[in-house]
Amino acid sequence: MLGLGAALATALTTTVLLSTGGQAQTAGPVILDPDLGVRTVASGLSQPTSLAILGANDMLVLEKAFGKVQRVVGGVVQETVLDLAVNSGSERGLLGITLHPAFPGNPGVYLYWTRL
């Protein structure tokens, strides 16, 4: 018969193995509302964290770790419009973007990021 310590270690090991067994497979999101869907609107981005919609199929997308603001039109990265020095460790980096409420009349674009 196993001692209490050995039984606890076996139970913990089994729990860890069961909880990490799905890491090799990436499950898609579960959509509970039939009126919603998921689709890729752009590819070729590294750690996109936030976006601002400029117009139909036109957006600014942030890349967290590299500090880049990318212009994406029709699903294709067109250009880097801003390249910031960022501290991207842990939960830091280029994290948020919003447009001025009167955009495009007031062309203000506001960013939230962690500098070096």
pLDDT exceeds 70 at position 2: no
Q: What pTM value is reported for the model?
A: 0.69
Q: Residue 22: helix, strand or coil by DSSP?
A: helix
All residues at 6 or more sequence positions from 79 whose CB lies less than 8 Å from its CB, including other chains? 70, 71
Q: Each residue of 45-85: pLDDT tens digit?
A: 999 999 999 999 999 999 998 999 999 999 999 999 999 98
